Each structure stands twice: as C-alpha cells, then as structure tokens.
Amino acid sequence: MYRATVLLILLPLLTGAALAHSGVTNPKVMPRMHLMTDIKDTVAGLGAFAKGTQRFDADEAARLVDALAAQAAGVAAAFEDAAQDPKSEARPEIWSDWTGFTAEASKLEAAAQTMQTESRAEVQFGMRAVAKACYSCHEDYRLEN
C-alpha cells in the first residue's frame, strides 16, 4: 500500500510540467525554472528507486540526495531576483514573504540531508518528507499547483 502512496504523491510532480517553461522570454526567469527541472529530475531518480522501477543502488541514491540538498540550497539564490514573465508560475508572495519562501527551501534541503539511502525502504521513507516539501512550497508560492 505504501508503494502506491509514494507513486500517487510523486506522479503529478514528475509529469506534465516538463514544457511549462517553453516560451519564457525573460532570461532571468529561465535559470530558476531550470533549477526546478533539475530538482524534478533528481527526485525522479530517487522515485524510481522508491517505486522499484530502477534496481536499487545505494551509491547512486546517496549521490542523488547530495545533489538534491545542493539544488535545494540553490533555490534562494535562483529566486532572489523578482523577475517576471508571462509564462512564470511564481507567485508574488515569494518576494513579499521571502522569509517564508526560503524556509520552504530549507525544509527541502533538510529532507534531502536527513534521507537515509542504505536501502530501498529508507529511500521510500525519506521521499515522504521530500514530496511534502515540494507540495508545501508549491501550494503557497506557485500558481496552478
């Protein structure tokens, strides 16, 4: 049952948005979208281990959580500039409530840092906090969650 839950949580996060940034004209908006896409790709790798669609590899899982922690640590810098674009899904609350926004990024970083990666079960468990952090931030700071 738990496996199905992970799948349900992750599916909407990992699909659909792939082309959301096409048509963006503001070059300052592009990097933050690319960072989010990188985050999505990293989490997709961990998700494949959690779901069992990829044979579990503890070294690769450890590498992925390190990458995720580094990506999460880069969120604040990527969003610092309140750049706008018609295609952007960033809510203005990011900049009017910067402390709240960066706290959400820190939650993702902490979820990545505390995730244990010795076994598939540990990755499954750790993915809960990661997925929660994605949703929690998107709910408040991203349009059309």
Q: Which residues bind to ligand HEC, rule: CB under 6 A?
A: 13, 17, 20-21, 29, 32-33, 36-37, 39-40, 43, 75, 88-90, 94, 101, 104-105, 108, 130, 133-134, 137-138, 141-142
Shortest distance (Å) from residue 93 CB to ligand HEC? 9
Looking at beta carbons only, is 17 or 58 nearer to ligand HEC?
Answer: 17
Q: Identify which of residues 104 and 120 has a Cβ nearer to ligand HEC in the complex.
A: 104
- Is the Cβ of residue 49 or residue 141 nearer to ligand HEC in the bound state? 141
Q: How many CA atoms lie within 13 A of 85 on its CB side?
A: 20
CA 11/CA 3 separation, integer angstroms: 12
| Burial call 43-65: b when 16+ CB within 10 Å, e when fewer | bebbbbbbbeebebeeeebeebb
Nearer Cβ to ligand HEC (49/101): 101
Q: Which amino acid is at 143?
A: L
Structure tokens at 3: 């496996």
* Min CB(119)–ligand HEC separation in Å: 21
Residue 47 CA to residue 68 CA, distance in Å, equals: 12
